[in-house]
Every structure is written in C-alpha cells, then in structure tokens.
C-alpha cells in the first residue's frame, strides 16, 4: 500500500484517498493503519483518509483522529504517559484510560501527561501543558513542569480536569 501510493503520487497529481483495506480487528487494524496512513501523510501524500477496522464504526473515527494528531495534521489533546515500572505508585493504567476517555471530546490543542511517580514524572513530562504524577495514595498536579498541588489519588482525575478547564 505504501509503495503503491508513493509510486502513484510520483506519476500523477490527483487527490489521493488513503486507507488500508481489510486491516483487521481494532488492535492490529490500528497498527497497520497508523503505519500505512501515517507514513504517507508524513511524506506529504494523501488528501483524505479512511481507517477500516473490524469493530464498532466509532472506533474507526477515533483511530483516524488519533493518526492525524500523531502526525501533526490535527490539533486536540495529546496524552503522554510513562510505562509502569517499580516506582509506579498509582493505578497508572486505569488512570491513563480514564483521562483518555474523559478528554476524548476535548478540542483543546494541549498535551496532558499521566505519569506513574512524582520522582521522575514531572521532569520527564515537563513540556506537557498540564499533568498528573502519582505517588503513595496521592497525586501531584503540575503545569509546564511546575508542581501546583498535591491531591488524594481518589480526587486526581477530577482535579486534573479542573486544571484543564482553565487552559
């Protein structure tokens, strides 16, 4: 698909519709689509896109938007998070998923960090517009690498969303 579109883009000046046909289930289909569509968009090839997944159609829309955000063709919330490690002192996986779901419809062009520990979290995600770093039943809310306040882990998502509203 990538080779064919690159060759076609060299041979003609027509608008090109990008898509990976029969990509598969959500997980593999998203990976294949991100590689295929994303690499072509990064090459400056493509005018419209279609992500095809064997899943609910809304998942295709989310995937397409995320691919466009990842290659810098669309604004919106970009979430960065760290992998879990021995320093993770919060339900990072659950929190990251809840943050992602809560911000799915947010159109603000911001980067939100969800980090597993306050030890490295704030520094590693210092460029994020706003973020959260967990630790021992608490979470630190930070903005542009600067700690704003510490809240209970149970209040972390709500407090993060309040901070995002101010941006």
**Proportion of the chain above pLDDT 90, given as a percent:** 75
How many whole angstroms separate alpha carbon 25 and alpha carbon 50? 15
10 with 47, same domain: the answer is yes
How many whole angstroms separate alpha carbon 142 and alpha carbon 140? 6
85 with 156, same domain: the answer is yes
66 with 125, same domain: the answer is no
Query: What average pLDDT does this structure show over 107-115?
Result: 94
Q: Are strands 130-135 and 138-143 parallel, antiparallel or unpaired?
A: antiparallel
For residue 64, give its domain range. Answer: 2-70
138 with 104, same domain: the answer is yes
Of the three residues 18, 41, 70, the one that is the final residue of a domain is 70
Least confident of 5-19, 32-46, 78-92: 78-92
Whole-number pLDDT of residue 22: 81
7 with 38, same domain: the answer is yes
Whole-number pLDDT of residue 136: 82
Count Cβ atoms below 10 Å from residue 36 Cβ, excluding itself.
Answer: 21
How many whole angstroms separate alpha carbon 40 and alpha carbon 17? 11
Q: Tens digits of per-residue pLDDT, 89-101?
A: 788 899 999 999 9
Q: Is a pLDDT exceeding 80 seen at residue 120? A: no
| CATH code for the domain in which residue 87 is found | 3.30.413.10
92 with 156, same domain: the answer is yes
Q: Which of 88, 46, 92, 90 has its CA nearest to residue 67?
A: 46
What are the percentages of helix, strand and coil residues in the chain, rounded to 5? Answer: 45, 20, 35
Of the three residues 12, 44, 70, the one that is the final residue of a domain is 70
Query: CA separation (Å) from 158 to 45, 48, 161?
Result: 41, 36, 5
112 with 64, same domain: the answer is no
117 with 150, same domain: the answer is yes
Count Cβ atoms below 10 Å from residue 91 Cβ, excluding itself.
Answer: 15
Whole-number pLDDT of residue 31: 95
Q: What is the pTM of this model?
A: 0.82
Whole-number pLDDT of residue 40: 97
Average pLDDT score, the chain:
92
**Proportion of the chain above pLDDT 70, given as a percent:** 100
60 with 13, same domain: the answer is yes
Whole-number pLDDT of residue 79: 93
Of the three residues 70, 86, 106, the one that is the final residue of a domain is 70
137 with 161, same domain: the answer is yes
161 with 83, same domain: the answer is yes
22 with 43, same domain: the answer is yes
Question: What total of structural domains would you count in the chain?
Answer: 2
Whole-number pLDDT of residue 55: 93
């Amino acid at each position: 698909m990538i080779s064919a579109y690159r060759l076609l883009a060299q041979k003609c000046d027509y608008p090109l519709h990008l898509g990976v046909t029969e990509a598969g289930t959500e997980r593999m289909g998203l990976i294949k689509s991100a590689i295929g569509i994303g690499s072509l968009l990064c090459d400056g090839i493509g005018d419209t896109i279609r992500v095809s997944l064997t899943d609910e159609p809304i998942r295709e829309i989310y995937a397409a938007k995320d691919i466009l955000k990842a290659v810098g063709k669309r604004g919106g919330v970009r979430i960065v998070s760290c992998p879990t490690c021995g320093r993770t002192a919060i339900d990072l996986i659950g929190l990251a998923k809840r943050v992602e779901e809560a911000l799915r419809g947010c159109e603000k062009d911001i980067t939100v960090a969800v980090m597993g520990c306050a030890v490295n979290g704030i520094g590693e995600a210092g460029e994020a517009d706003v973020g959260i770093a967990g630790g021992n039943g608490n979470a630190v809310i930070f903005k542009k690498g600067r700690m704003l306040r510490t809240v209970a882990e149970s209040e972390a998502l709500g407090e993060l969303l309040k901070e995002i509203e101010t941006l």
